[in-house]
Amino acid sequence: MSEAISVTGELPARRNPLVRFWVRLLREQPLGTVAAVIVIVFVLTAIFADALAPYDYSIPDLPSRLDGPTLAHPLGADQLGRDVLSRVIHGARVSLIVGFAAASINVVVAVIIGAISGYFGGRVDMIVQRFVDGWMAIPGLLILLVVMSFLGRGMLNIVLVLGIAGGIGGSRLARSAVIAIKDSLYLTAARTVGVPVRRILSHHVLPNIMAPLIILFSASVGGNILSEATLSFLGFGLPPDVPSWGGMLSGEGRKFMEIAPHLALWPGLALTIVVWGTNMFGDSLRDLLDPRMRGGGGGFS
C-alpha cells in the first residue's frame, strides 16, 4: 500500500492536485515559483487596475509635467503631467488582455493545424508542414508589420495577428504530441469500431495532449506581450492614448529620455519583469509536465 495508514485505521486524504503542483513547483523549480508569483501579481494588478491606480491615467496635470518621482507621483509624471504609475498599472491590463487572448488563439490554431497534420500524416502532413516551414522562414516581425500596416491599429487586430501568426509556428508542438499518441491502443480501438474522426480528435486526442498545450499557452503569453510592445514602439500597435508599455517607451519615453529618464525606465522595467516571469513560468511548467524533461510519467502527480 503506497500510503501509510493512520492510527485510526483510515487512509489519509489525498492532497489536492493543485496543492501537489505548487509543492512540486516550490521544491523542484524555485525560480519557477518566483516567476509564478510575478505572474499572479501581474494578473491581479491588471484585474484591479482601476482600484490600484492613484489617478486617472488620461488626465493631464501640466504643473507636474516631466516631474521625477515625488510623493504625489511616486514614479514621476510624463510630458503632459499624467501619473506614470497609473499608466504603468493600466499598461498591465493592456498586456494581460493581449498576452492571454493571443495565447488562447495560438493554442486553437496550433491544435487545428497540428492535429490534422499529425493525425492524418502522409501527403496531408507533407503539404501542411511545407506551408508551416515557408511561414516560419519569414521573419516574424516582418509579417506582423506588413499585416498591421494593412489592418491598422487596434487591440483586436493585434490579438488576431499575434494569435494566428504564433499558432502556425506552435502547430509543430501539437503535431508532435499527436504523432506520439496516434498509434496507441485506445485510438486504434476507436478507429476499429468506427468512431468518427471528428469524435476521435475531440474526445480522445485533444484530452491526451493537454500538457504540451498548457506549455504552449504559458510560453506564448510572454512572447505576445513583447510583440505587442514592439509593434506599439514602432508605431503599428495601439493608439497613442492607450497606456501600452511599448507605446510609453516609444512616445514620451524616447522623446524625453535625456531630461526625464523615468519615462522609459518604469515601463521598460515592468515589461522586462513580466516577460521574464511568464517565460520562466512556462519553462518550469514544461519541466514539470513534459515526461522527457523528467524521465517519468506526465501530469501533476
pLDDT tens by residue, 50-61? 889 888 888 888
DSSP state of 251: T
CB-CB contact of 268 with 253 (8 Å): yes
Phi–psi pair at 77, nearest 5 degrees? -130, 155
Q: What is d(CA 267, CA 249) in angstroms, rounded to the nearest whole number?
A: 7
Q: How many CB atoms lie within 10 A of CB 71?
A: 5
**pTM, two decimal places:** 0.79
Q: Residue 57 has what pLDDT?
A: 84
Count CB atoms within 10 A of the CB of residue 137.
7
Contacts of 226 (CB under 8 A, 6+ apart): 271, 275
pLDDT on residue 295: 40
C-alpha span between 141 and 133 (Å, rounded): 16
According to DSSP, residue 208 is labeled: G
Low-confidence residues of the chain, pLDDT below 70? Answer: 1-15, 251-253, 290-301
State the pLDDT at residue 300: 36
Superfamily, domain 17-53+80-294: MetI-like (1.10.3720.10)
The CA distance from 98 to 17, in Å, is 29
Closest CA to 247 of 257, 256, 237: 237
3-state secondary structure (DSSP) of residue 53: coil
